[in-house]
Structure 1
Amino acid sequence: MTAINEVVDLATEGRVAVVTVNSPPVNALSANVRTGIAEAVQKAGADPAVTAVVIHCAGRTFIAGADITEFGKPPKGVPLNEVNAILEACPKPVVAAIHGTALGGGLELALSCHYRVAVPSAKLGLPEVKLGLVPGAGGTQRLPRLVGVERALEVIAFGEPMKAAEAASHGLVDAVVGEGSLKADAVAFAEKLIADAAPLKKVRDRADKLGADPAVFAAFRKANARRFRGFEAPEACIQCVEAAVSMPFDEGLKFERDTIMRLMVGTQSLAQRYVFFAERQAAKIPDVPEGTPTRTIAKVGIIGAGTMGGGIAMNFVNVGIPVTIVETKQEALDRGLSVIRKNYENTAKRGRLSMADVETRMGRFTPTLDLSALADCDLVVEAVFENMEIKKEVFGKLDAIAKPGAILATNTSYLDVDQIAAMTKRPEDVIGMHFFSPANVMRLLEVVRGEKTAKDVIATAMGLAKTIGKVGVLVGVCHGFVGNRMLAQRQREANKLILEGAMPWDVDRVLYDFGLPMGPFAMSDLAGLDIGWSRETSKGETPREILCEMDRRGQKTGAGFYDYDENRVAKPSPVTEKIILDLAAKKGINRRQISDEEILQRCIYPMINEGAKILEEGKAIRASDIDIVWINGYGWPVYRGGPMFYGDTVGLPEVLKVMKEFEGRHGADFKPSALLEKLAAEGKGFKDLK
């Protein structure tokens, strides 16, 4: 064996040269990896004793993609396009031996080999679109030549990998080989190529699958318009595949390269790459380092079988953790379990579960009306009505029932976790675990650290978030924590704007066009206007209260801020418009024309300012944690990077200037935070905070 460099070795097995990459953890295409592969293949190509080459990776995966830590830095080593050209030009058959994942640049390298073999568990894909990019080393040009235009469009523009069997059926993989004998099987495959005098199959020379009707592209755009809304990269991916069809290979490569270079310096890709790292950073807690002991969670208790409790419970049974679920009345318990079963059965109908899986998961539930059944649970999550007195009562009872060392979690959205913890003799075991609705779908879990919460409890909750497929973000105790505290700023301004001159559909349109899934009034109609409202306490002083008094309570009643048809399609309501105009007149408000720019600034800039206050108070560890909350819990468009990233994009001096203008015009709600003023004065952004 010859060491080409510290991460690439070259050895021979009979007449076959084996190039082995060993660059843990994922064999990413760093400068050393690229240079090592290029040198090894050139050396093997020039060796008269070698008649074929196998590219193989040590560890748990084939090359899992580019080394994105090199993005934006001066280039080093051999560029990937040159490595691929060397592979393709090698005078001897080159075989990629794939296990784990061949993603991004890893798949592009494999596409430049003459043949590809893979183990059954391997996955192959081009996920660059998720970073706001297109594949930049021939992926958009070579993949359509192997799998056809339609499948290539899906793989490239969606960024989702395909399994080895499907890859083989489309011609991307030439052979599926043994799970435990990849290298030996790849060498045997290479030897057979030699024995059969097989040709060097250069993907670039293939053209038989490129004869796509231009209508294919138009149909793909139309079918995915909603999915791609606001994103630049999917359209760029489509254009690159169009180039593969319409241009000679080398011109298509140039088009692809020009496209990735343009996107790489754009705001969207910067935002999406920022989010990629921010999500991983959120798991790092300075005073709870990796390796902090955690508590074993083998059984979970859930108090409440309603929408939230049932959804929370599903997360645990999905990963094999049994759940004892408690309700106060049998009909509520039966209804909750029925909803859970229906959710699973609907998933089975879509082919994502078998009916046997449904029964297995339902079998992990122990339903009961007896709170004392939680005595043997390692974690108990309270998901009762959002009322402090009720939650205090529950925790007082839990304290007497739960075993020593059990973690007691509250799913509160707003309330003071420390007050709840004070109802127990073990506040160190109490933590907030704020799931977002629907809890079995939404990725965010706000983990709320109480004043006395033990570090091993925090470490356990954060680790458990990952186990159940959530993005855990640690936050501090304050009203609404991070997400809902900032949301309140937007909601206040939205409600003021519609009395001052805008209509609900104006506000919703501006925020939808900004990239949010829906505006605040459409969201209120969806959730139900009567959440937290009662006829007994209603004062009829806001449009929402008046609408509820008229039994216009949102989509469920066919009318709210909007009118809805039988398919729940919304249209602006003249009833709502009259309510708003009459109320404004009653309050003596002189309505005026309000620009889209003002609507956006009034709704978004106070959120940025509130995020700065959250950072000042230490309720979030870092600005990027706030962004991860908003992206995963509230549908903030990932291509805008989160509210704090967006503030940096606009420029904090500009945000400050507008906030001061609004403060002069609209009062103290717009008073800038001290941190916003400080960073703007220093010419810094939230990204500069340490």
Structure 2
Amino acid sequence: MPDNHQPDRGLHLERSGNILIVILDNPPVNALGLRVRRGLLAALRQAQSEEQIHALLLLGSGKNFAAGADIREFNQPRQPPLLREVCDQIETCTKPVIAAIAGNALGGGLEVAMAAHYRLAVKGSRLGLPEVNLGLLPGAGGSQRSVRLIGAEAALDLMLSGRPLSAEQALELGMVDRLGLDARVDGLVYAHELLADRCGVRRSSELTTRLADSAAQQAAIDAARTKLPTQFRGLFSPALIIDCVAAACEQPFAAGCQFEAAQFQRCLASPQHRALLYAFQAERAAAKLPDTTGLAIAAFSQAGVIGGGTMGAGIAVVMLEADLQVTLLERDEQSLAAGLSRVEEFYRQRVSKKRLSATAAAARLAKLRGTTEYRDLATADLVVEAVYEDLAAKQAVFRQLDSHCKPGAILASNTSYLDIAAIAAVTNRPQAVIGLHFFSPAPVMRLLEIVVPPQAAAEVIASAVVLARRLGKVPVRTGICDGFIGNRIMSVYRRAAEAMLEDGASPYQIDTAVREFGFAMGPFQILDVAGGDIAWATRKRRAAQRDPQERYVQIADRLCEQGWFGQKSGRGWYRYEPGSNHGVQDPAVLEIVARERERAGVTPRPFSAEEIVRRYLAAMINEGANLLAEGIALRPLDVDVVLLAGYGFPRYRGGPLYYADKIGLARVLDDITTFAAEDPQFWRPSPLLIRLVEQGQTFASLNAE
């Protein structure tokens, strides 16, 4: 039978003898939208009605099997058939249905595969149920079928972590029946074998082996529940996922699916789902390529990194992970050896934790070389400077790069605060200079601020976005100011925290209130992790430019003068036992706080947790509005993505400006106006915030492209 492409169905139908091949075809990821769901039901009806069809083979076109639901339908009324109905029809089909998976089978895509009677996965495939990342749970029987296929413990890990399985892991667990090299070829072979052996259908809903050990299943459920207060603090859907797994173990399949459907609807209606969906879509919008028509996008194969400290070594790792040849440059052989050792240690740790094979680690390290000579960067397509935060030092590096790097090479600085334009100005190619602000630890943190100086060429900006995506980072474009988007906002909400500290709140009370709102750490914990000496150096650098009218809280300086820099020194805002990163409250810190309050003439007053959070967020929101008004941030969603991906803002709250819309901009403005009575210099309402309130608009109204 010839290729029967049916665009109204979002799939192809083909015949190979007595096998009907159903190829999902909804680019780019074969999302299971309405057309695809209707097409699948039509294909199933055809298979059931035609005697000459003995089996169905499900495939995905392109590089994916099916990467889940069509996210464009999330904010619309659901139209039948629902995916749950499609999966039920697949499973109840009286002819064998084989799912041959290549690429991604995620969310609804894996639910379709689990509804099939047999499954094959091509090596390199990924199979997962990541709905928890959007505040959801599987809604098409996935929680019920996964337990019957792989057991409660593995199913819970799959759904609660959101991490996909490799094809090999899926085979080992029993999610798939065999591996293959080509989905179509091996899928057809498998289908013919099943027919020859008269295997018939094998419905996941009827499997009972994994449910036999009820004590083991209950132990897995109990263990998952104990993690809710810590690992899933503040989240709504994880508890419901566990409830669904319990239903799978205790109830008949149909009843379990009915329970799952009800919990899915609860998740779908929750504020957390809407916030997490916004965060997902905001990141996609931030990472969207600019118009590249007529632009020469750089093809990166060789990269240089200047500086082998913690950040430089981390950036080198990120480049190696993206399969780039990396040259690490340091000022002398001793520093170079230390830098290379940091990179090697990263891979030693990954191998020891079984996150990477020794062979794969060796292959990555084979792409790394070190040098102390700038001439060895002559063939690099990109060079990232990561030396210490000093403008003169960075300018000296860029003069060398300008002399030795080839025409067309992109020259990037990893500066956290400094003016990229001033760095570019010392070169003869300012159009090729850009900021790439990685966050520490670079291999872990997802955010990459792309700092755009006025003379940067359009192809350099576009190439930086392409590079960020290749590196697995979330790129956000930012203009030039002290600290760009993230650090500038952080400096403001940190000042708000310091003011509350001097006015009567303890650092531990502030950290606790911020954590209870959903942040992983409070501001004083973060200072201890980052190192108080770094922020101290920044404060001293800015001292000459500080407005005399600005309130300056000196408590942090007193700690630094004691040599208390945080975890690195064993003491900061918290005290740390040798070898431990767990801080305990330090009475000596509170004594310093009390003395500084007395010196400043401040009579301490009590603060509630609610007031702490309102002040902390108001400072954050107000400065975000200022960045938008100044054109440093292009859209509110860019501010939200920076705080979500780089600063620990709780993802289930959407980001500071999204959150501001939800609680009401008028309330935020009222708070700022109230706080201004005690410190009008700091609490100055953003003109943009005032305008939005006066016009009855929201930050969301500024996100339209």
What TM-score range do you get, normalising by the shorter chain?
Answer: over 0.9
Aligned to 2:687: 674
**Match of residue 56, structure 2, among 29, 42, 53:** 53
Query: Against the structure 1 CA distance between its residues 223 and 365, is the aligned structure 2 distance closer, same or farther, given a 3 Å change threshold?
Result: same
Cα-to-partner distance string for 1:123-147 (whole Å, 9 max, x where unaligned) = 2221111111000000001110111
Contact 1:126 1:156 in 2 (8 A): yes
With normalisation by structure 1, the TM-score equals 0.94
Aligned length: 687
| Mapped pair 1:276 → 2:280 | yes
**d(CA) in 2 for partners of 1:629 and 1:521?**
20
Partners of 2:502 and 2:553 within 8 A in 1: no
Contact 1:547 1:553 in 2 (8 A): yes
Question: Who is 1:140 aligned against?
Answer: 143
**450, 470, 474: which is aligned to 1:471?**
474
What residue number does 1:402 align with? Answer: 405
1: CA distance, partners of 2:424 / 2:556: 34
Amino acid of the residue matched to residue 549 of structure 1? E
Q: Give the corresponding residue for 2:184.
A: 183
**In the alignment, structure 1 residue 333 sits paired with structure 2 residue 346:** no
Shift of 1:244: 0.9
Distance 1:669 1:200, change over 3 A: same
**What do the CA deviations read for 1:108-132 (whole angstroms, capped 9, x no partner)?**
1222222223323332221111111
- Stretch moving more, 378-387 or 563-572: 563-572
1:629 alignment counterpart: 642
Identity %: 41
Any idea what SS the aligned residue of 2:144 has? helix
Q: Is the 8 A contact 1:134 1:233 kept in 2?
A: yes
Per-residue CA deviation, residues 69-107 of structure 1 (Å, 9 max, x unaligned), is 101202224111111222222222222222222211111
* 2:85 is the counterpart of 1:82: yes
What's the offset of the Cα at 1:535? 14
Aligned with 2:264 (options 236, 260, 263): 260
1:591 paired with 2:604, answer yes
Paired amino acid for 1:317 = L
From the superposition, tell whether residues 169 and 316 of structure 1 become closer, same or farther in structure 2 (CA, over 3 Å).
closer
In structure 2, runs of 5+ residues without a counterpart are 544-551
Range 206-215 or range 636-645, more displaced: 206-215
- Equivalent residue for 1:561? 573
CA RMSD of aligned residues (A): 2.4
Bigger mean CA offset, 215-224 vs 106-115: 215-224
1:221 matched to 2:225? The reply is: yes
Matched, 1:198 2:199: yes
2:234 maps to 1:234: no
Deviation at 1:479, TM superposition (A): 1.0
Q: State the 1:627 CA deviation.
A: 1.4
Alpha-carbon spacing, 1:533–1:158, altered in 2? closer, same or farther (3 Å) = closer
Q: Match of 1:494?
A: 497
Residues 1:340 and 1:672: Cα distance change in structure 2 (over 3 Å): same
Change (3 A) 1:138 1:325: same
- Aligned mate of 1:73, from 58, 71, 76: 76
Give 1:545 deviation, angstroms.
1.7
How far off its partner does 1:549 sit?
2.2
Match for residue 172 of structure 2 among 166, 169, 173: 169
Q: Match of 1:614?
A: 627
When residues 291 and 127 of structure 1 are mapped into structure 2, their CA distance, relative to the original with a 3 A threshold, is farther
- Displacement after TM superposition at 1:330 (Å): 2.5
SS at structure 2 position matched to 1:376: coil
Change (3 A) 1:456 1:172: same
CA distance in 1, matches of 2:311, 2:361: 20
C-alpha distance 602-47 of structure 1, shift in aligned 2 (>3 A): same
1:157-176, Cα deviation, whole Å (9 max, x unpaired): 11122222332333322333
Deviation at 1:593, TM superposition (A): 0.7
Q: What letter matches 2:342 in structure 1?
A: V
Q: Distance in 2 between matches of 1:30 and 1:252?
A: 25
Q: Deviations over 1:565-603 (max 9, x none)?
A: 233432221111111112111211111111111111111
Aligned counterpart for 2:250 among listed residues 246, 252, 261: 246
Q: Do the aligned partners of residues 139 and 69 (structure 1) sit closer, same or farther apart at CA in structure 2, a change above 3 Å counting?
A: same
- TM-score of the pair, normalised by structure 2: 0.92
1:142-195 per-residue CA deviation (whole Å, 9 max, x = no partner) reads 110111111111111111222223323333223333x23x33443443344344
Partners of 1:149 and 1:212 within 8 A in 2: no
| Offset of residue 382 of structure 1 | 1.7
CA distance in 1, matches of 2:99, 2:436: 45
Distance 1:24 1:285 in 2: 18
Query: Matches of 1:50 and 1:17 in 2, distance apart?
Result: 6
The alpha-carbon distance between structure 1 residues 197 and 520, as it changes in their structure 2 partners (threshold 3 A), is same
Cα shift at 1:225: 5.0
Which amino acid in the other structure matches residue 176 of structure 2?
V
| Aligned partner of residue 669 in structure 1, secondary structure | coil
More displaced 10-residue stretch of structure 1: 290-299 or 662-671: 290-299
> 2 CA distance for matches of 1:87 and 1:424?
63
**1:19/1:41 contact within 8 Å kept:** no
Q: Deviations over 1:355-405 (max 9, x none)?
A: 344444334333233334333333222211111222223323433333322
Deviates more, 1:110-119 or 1:32-41: 110-119
